[in-house]
Structure 1
């Protein structure tokens, strides 16, 4: 009997009731998906398996839903399946239809009113099926997958309440000096996060967790941070498994062996991260 992928609203409520920060770990393929599920179960802590619209070029919504469901067959911790940085309403709809239990629509690159319009459209569809929606106000500096975002716009607290009320979003991703990837240094503005938390009707999300000091994440819990995204740390663990093997032997061809080893490395990293942020 496969465990049901946990509904996003149920997962949020569970985390709030138990004072957890939910990590959202980015997957791309079978190995990453199995590793994330394994890591969360090793730690005995809840979280999300998530995939960005960009990575759905390799893994379709139906494929990643199947892999997640299979990865959770022996799971006994609450784990949701989240669309990260949904590029369009069409991607949102496809993921909800495939069984995703949480959605992000990212229209933060658009002007304020257009951002509201796109988010509201996604919210109306997702809420009909009982799926929560994350939106972003402000834009992160750096590289999100292979899409370069040149904006360096911190979230304006004065726009938060209006944005959340008009869109109906359930989670708000904020820009407070956090960045994507490992090539830029984050400078998280905790006073700004505190200010935003006081006016936001919904819990907050921080992207770019891989570069942020753990004590900063732990402190951010006081400011209604519910979800933090991790991608680069896990990808580095995955890719280095193959890179190190190749450096040791340029004729290395044991794909299955290295794939299984990568699952072990990524699962250990996921378990480490979820445990530390919830210490």
Structure 2
């Protein structure tokens, strides 16, 4: 019995349909892992919940918001951003695991669209992020946080959070394709903490030493933190620097720059993958 391998489509429209179908197949593979390994998904969602409870209740009483306001309302938008950052480590681990186990090589040997593996990974991680964000939204509401802006402003804030996650997903995919062992993955996941804490997520950069506060202000994550606070109409720190005054603009520009850099790097690395 012979097996006939279908020829790849040639027209642009049929190639697009082929890529979308294969990408969705890989996405379903990722979603299937949710049902087979629910503990991994649950633990990933519980970690930011524990972080927000710790800072909101254990440390929040000692925190002062510049200009006044409730610290928990100051904190929650920052934790939304941190959730997007923590998701990047999960992307790195998942991509590296597939590569190091030979799964990626088997995908590359199949008659499927070359973009399917990367697109499927991206869609899976974005869906995971939406679920994690929804959980943290619920926790925030239970803690007394609220989005005081209009429905459009709230939707815009969520859009900025997911835009950041989308850009960080491609950073994670590229790094995952580079990793050859667990040491590299651990290093990336460890670096999430100093990069995430060196922002305006937990305290105002004005309270830091001058040079450190400047680094925190120019951290791309701080722009999304400040922009979402503004759109949610939550207390902010009100910096007077250029980067602080143009937070919403930069919350779009920074992810666009990250995507422009790491998307072609990820595609090129995947195309030249040998081990």
- TM-score w.r.t. structure 2 length? 0.27
Structure showing greater relative contact order (alpha-carbon pairs closer than 8 Å, 6 or more residues apart): 2
Would you tell me which structure has more strand in proportion to its own residues? 1
- TM-score w.r.t. structure 1 length? 0.27
Would you tell me which structure has more helix in proportion to its own residues? 2
